[in-house]
Structure 1
């Protein structure tokens, strides 16, 4: 029992005893002394009671702060114990899930409907220290699986924010018109007419589903052993990341794809209203500098190092080979790096279309994070739904898996993005 509670109960008992003694019209000397003793004890208990409340309030605040972070920490630790190999064996052999993997799957099923076995996004992350255990004596030993090559994630480097949605749609009101500023022209004059506070809604809707299919042969199941879990996770995660990166920027908006940032700006300006500038000149720091100046004059960036840049590798090769003055050895790329840090520059042949036209020209995307708001949002709904096909490869003892993920992309504030076309 809390100390404050004990003191409160004792104070209640003292009040009852004092009430009985005070009701007597002619108390004895012993009763008078008893009342005096009880009164002193009550005053002392009052002081101790206030001190106990202060101490317990501090303890409650500390415990509350721990509880606020405990759930996220415990969930993260639980994710580290998720075994994708159990999912593969459950789909292949019908083996029951066990341990923390079963607990996570049960938790996900309560939050949404899945035809197969739900797999949390965090379980697809690559974990350190995943290697094959000591091999069985054999003329040929299978060593750790060598992964396929995938392009690195670009959306995150360009400032895109990942949003996890349990169900339904989500939207952000973006202010388009509000406070007006004006000076009083005379002593009795008005400071200006008021404007209506207006917003534009940026919505994410679960209308687009990405599927990843994997065919795991019987040889793979027997050969790889425990490494299969890590390999499936890395391969599936990388394949999803590659396609998600592509659609964030180049999604067509048709055939089940969300409309990407660049595609939407070029083909459907009413969707994103992003500024598109046609350079029609060789790629140079001057072209990028003009876009940075437009960002700064629009209050979207405070300095050049706040701007992120996405270009094709061919643009880097051309700028790094173009010298300002052969005597100094300074290239256009050197001038760019003096103002935009290398950590803010992403090169990708996946997120940007191949150079086209005559002469060959490419596209570049500039973004900035203004006021803590990401330039674009990428929404994912629930977990990855893992579905087994037990029939297609039954004759060969193989296993076919399909992973379904629902996602969407939207632009927060068009002023935080700009596209440069015609970089020759």
Structure 2
């Protein structure tokens, strides 16, 4: 109990005692001495009370940061104990949620509307120590799995930042003006005139809904037990990660898809350069890196990230440079670290043309600002369908999420097109 509260309670007791003594018309000597003692104690306690309030106020100020962040840490700890198995059983059997899972669901429902059971994005992490089985989950046969949601996704490796949005649309004002300094040309001359400071809004709107469907057979629900947790998480993780990677870069902006970075390069204002060399070389990437550095968006080649097709890697690795005893791929790795290169056949379109040509996207983070923003509205909405597979006792689960994509600064991205994978016939 706080010291100030203890003193306040004692002061209340003293006032009650004094009220009883003062009400007597002819108090005895003992009662008079008691009144004097209580009065002295009351005045002394007033000083102690003020001192206790000052000390406790200092303690509150010191603990302010901890108090402000404690709720976020507590919620993160609840998500770590979130069980997707409970969600599946609640959708199938109507079983009541309990423990941390029930608390997280209740909190998410209070923040936004969900038709089914809300699932936080962080709950889709593949957690350390869990195991999964091949095919139908089997608690007897176990294998290790990866750790987190989208740890190796192309979007994450290219520096995209995922932002959680509670509701409504959101805009990111990005500076587009080129404010420059100027010297005064003489003793009484003025410096350079004012340059307008302008920004452009990069909006994200909840217009794009991504959904996946799962079919859980009766055998799976009855046989797998706790292993169903890992199986559902694994399948949801893989399906969402694969489609998000494709849509972030190749989304058409039509038929419900967001406008992808590569597809919408012209719309976003991203510089697109046609490689005119005879065959793919490090030179095409070097030119883009130079444009980054001259535009003050990258300080060195190691700050650049590259997205390429596996076919391009094969060409670069097979292009030997004599007499240096190295390949074009070796030259690329000397400047752009291997950890900054993402190879994907999903996030880049298939090579086309005759001769075959491909493309590559380069990004960099300038001033701590990510080149790509991926907005996700709320969590994953899990909706049950017990009717479609009712004859076999199965259950269908639909997982819905709302996602949009936008580019922060176009100068933080470079698109190289027309990279030749073979020579003309």
Residue 131 of structure 1, CA deviation = 3.8
Q: Does 1:419 align with 2:415?
A: yes
Residue 122 of structure 1, CA deviation = 0.9
Match of 2:28 in 1: none
| Shift in alpha-carbon separation, 1:180–1:299, aligned structure 2, 3 A | closer
**How do residues 129-278 of structure 1 correspond to structure 2 at under 5 angstroms?**
129-131=129-131, 142-144=140-142, 152-177=152-177, 179-265=179-265, 269=266, 271-278=267-274
The answer (yes or no) to whether the contact 2:274–2:418 under 8 Å persists in 1 is yes
Residue 184 of structure 1, CA deviation = 2.2
Residue 237 of structure 1, CA deviation = 1.5
TM-superposition CA deviations, 1:244-296 (whole Å, max 9, x none): 1111000011110000000001xxx1x20000000033221111111100000
When normalised by structure 1's length, the TM-score is 0.83
The answer (yes or no) to whether the contact 2:139–2:227 under 8 Å persists in 1 is no
Q: Does 1:319 align with 2:348?
A: no
The answer (yes or no) to whether the contact 2:132–2:144 under 8 Å persists in 1 is no
Match of 2:302 in 1: 305
The answer (yes or no) to whether the contact 2:250–2:260 under 8 Å persists in 1 is yes
The answer (yes or no) to whether the contact 1:310–1:365 under 8 Å persists in 2 is yes
Residue 423 of structure 1, CA deviation = 1.3
TM-superposition CA deviations, 1:350-400 (whole Å, max 9, x none): 111111111111111100000000001000001111001111100010100
Q: Distance in 1 between matches of 2:230 and 2:241?
A: 16
**How do residues 88-167 of structure 1 correspond to structure 2 at under 5 angstroms?**
88-131=88-131, 142-144=140-142, 152-167=152-167
Match of 1:378 in 2: 374
Q: Distance in 1 between matches of 2:334 and 2:199?
A: 38
User: Which 4+ runs in 1 deviate beyond 6 A?
Assistant: 4-10, 145-148
Q: Distance in 1 between matches of 2:68 and 2:330?
A: 47
Match of 1:287 in 2: 284
Q: Does 1:345 align with 2:361?
A: no
Q: Distance in 1 between matches of 2:400 and 2:50?
A: 59
| Shift in alpha-carbon separation, 1:141–1:64, aligned structure 2, 3 A | closer
Q: Please report the RMSD computed on the Cα atoms of aligned residues, expressed in angstroms.
A: 3.0
Can you give the 5+ residue segments of structure 2 that lack an aligned partner in the other structure?
15-35, 421-425
| Shift in alpha-carbon separation, 1:170–1:345, aligned structure 2, 3 A | same
**Counterpart of 1:177 in 2: which secondary structure?**
coil
Residue 130 of structure 1, CA deviation = 2.1
Q: Distance in 2 between matches of 1:253 and 1:407?
A: 12
When normalised by structure 2's length, the TM-score is 0.83
Residue 142 of structure 1, CA deviation = 4.4
**Counterpart of 1:248 in 2: which secondary structure?**
helix
Q: Distance in 2 between matches of 1:102 and 1:285?
A: 54
The answer (yes or no) to whether the contact 2:374–2:405 under 8 Å persists in 1 is yes
The answer (yes or no) to whether the contact 1:145–1:227 under 8 Å persists in 2 is no
Match of 2:27 in 1: none
Q: Distance in 1 between matches of 2:281 and 2:68?
A: 50
Match of 1:18 in 2: none
Match of 1:31 in 2: none
The answer (yes or no) to whether the contact 1:381–1:407 under 8 Å persists in 2 is yes
Q: Distance in 1 between matches of 2:61 and 2:234?
A: 41
The answer (yes or no) to whether the contact 1:144–1:227 under 8 Å persists in 2 is no
